Structure 1
Amino acid sequence: MKFIFGREILDPSEFYDREEELKVLINSFKVRQPIAVIGYRRMGKSSLINVALKLMDNEDTVTVKVSLEGVRSIRQFLDLYVSSILTETVRKSIRLKLKVDLINIRDALHALLGAVREAGVRFNGLDFYVRLYTDVIDYKVNMIKALDEFLQMPQKIAEELGKNMVIALDEFQQVRFLKQPYPDVLRVMRRIWQSHSMVEYVIAGSEVGIMRELLSRSDQPFFAFFRVIELKPFNKDTSISFLREGLMENGVYCVGEVLEKAYELTGGFPAWLNLAGLRMVEGGCDKWFILNDPTVKLIIESELSSLNHNQLRLLKALAMGIRLNKANVMKPNRVLNELIAKGLVEKTGWGRYRIVDPLLANYLKING
């Protein structure tokens, strides 16, 4: 077992634990049960989906993952959605290899279309959707009207190819930005998706507060549509076993007390456990304390830089154990809800809240 930090796992042999979640995910794919995977950052959601898609990828099923990270407009959504689905369909079903240039997607899709034609393969859906995409970005077709057609695309392609499809949309909370130009976009998505008989949909998101609102509020279009898997940190026993097995494979042995300290600092977050394991492999057992690692500082400072003054002040107050009414923050309840929506804070009881990531909480205590 290798310690892996900073990249998603693609190989099932590198995946650790999560057997139950993986089993639920794959079974949902097989019976076409729409499923949502939610969990705070660094829980391994993307890796879980990657492994499930890998295990489902076969001659009868085309699997596609679309990351919506950074999407804030319909155009950005279409760029990723159309290019990912068409390229992966051609690569996995027709066995042609061509990378899509995200800087110039139109040229890349036309190159893809040319390669299919040159191979003598008839693929009417590809021709239609490449032309439609071109008309959209040339302003010949209304983008919102075209979006409805593109949402129908997976089912129509699946019917033409005679293959089932699994479409995974990662960082799905970004679709909220599509509601401003297109208020009914989520309602349209549900209406179209629930009519698809050959396509299974899985969504995932790390801004847990927003995802829960999208999925659990009765006034939201996706209420009671998805089965939900919520990823939690590894528990103490799993965390220690994970570290011990990885260290032993690398010829390193650390006493249980060290592994327990690593667990307490990381809270069982898989990404942080991997970083702690890497440091111990490289520098010995006393390197478990990762708060002084430049990678940790870079990640945490980047996340904190996206917060406004009141959000940052309230987050620091929570780290220091200061009561909300003593935090010197205007409208603390509103700010608290903003932090919950971002997946940085969670409610633990009546009037009780905590920072989700213990590493972030410790960082703020030291640097607050």
Structure 2
Amino acid sequence: MQHLFETIDAAGQLLAWYDRHHRDLPWRVSPPMARQGVVADPYHVWLSEVMLQQTTVQAVKPYFHKFLALWPNVRDLAAADTEEVMKAWAGLGYYARARNLKKCAEAVARDHGGRFPDTEEGLKALPGIGDYTAAAVAAIAFNRQSAVLDGNVERVISRLYAVETPLPAAKPQMRALVAAMTPAQRPGDFAQAMMDLGATICTPRRPACALCPFNAVCLAFRTAEPENFPRKAAKKEKPLRVGAAFVASDPGGAVYLQKRAETGLLGGMTEVPGTPWTARIDGKTSIDAQPFAGPWEPCGTITHVFTHFELRLSVYRANVAAGNKTGNGWWEPLASLSAQALPTVMKKAIAQAIPHAFDGRPLAARGGEQE
């Protein structure tokens, strides 16, 4: 049976809507800019797409501007110190993205003369670039007719066609539907229009169906249950893991920090000493696990939610002599603490022990993320 969507100029209607209602984003070449001859910068498109994975537009904007100020092009990023890249990324979450970002920039500079490959296949051969990012960069930066499927597009497609298969099993079906809709002309604008439609009209809750350019043919709208799509498999309860964090400060107020191993969860990031824990293994929570001698005292617990588990850390604090040191650690002045590559879970631990450590603001005001 033919879906009504196939009887209309879907791409034309969506692009007309996008021309009027597109979001102005710092990494985007808008329709008015394109009409003036401005073309997309593949570096900007790639950088924004990596940052936007699992992260909101509003959270990404300041990081995007920061990265461009520090490293205006892919060669600059390739030549950057990895530790500086991790520091600039700190707080954005999912830190494997930052490590892969650096590796990808190095590969583009080393193997491709500083120019990104212009096909999905070529892009997917780069470190850290999967199906979605390759399709998005190919379509938006190089005008390739690629099917771009992110969370916003999944929601639009699932409602248009009332896709009953739950996610993530429905992804191949949804990708095929998007591929059939994507036009040869302006495929990048079509991809961004689908994203904008999902972000501003076809929202998860209380979608503004009356304003949608597809409401006449949307099956979910016809059945008056758009919020029931996309269907999702039942979530498994996240396991709880525990451990301990030890926040030491010296007489001058400096905080003792150390670097995590390069591989694994939060690899290469900065931390306070603590007990080993993973998504599958608990760490010790007692004061007996202290990294060095000191008048350690308990100061509560903090909780942090990772993608696959919840972590609860018992936090201890001590004022100790600056000479104490273990492993690859160092004493960081309080004034420069915010500039370090500290993931949110470590910022929470420090703030629990030293409430004024981050500009005197509650940590919640600084935002959070999952790593």
TM-score, normalization: structure 1? 0.25
- Larger RCO (CA within 8 A; separation ≥ 6): 1
Instruction: Answer with 1 or 2: which has the greater Rg.
Output: 2
TM-score, normalization: structure 2? 0.25
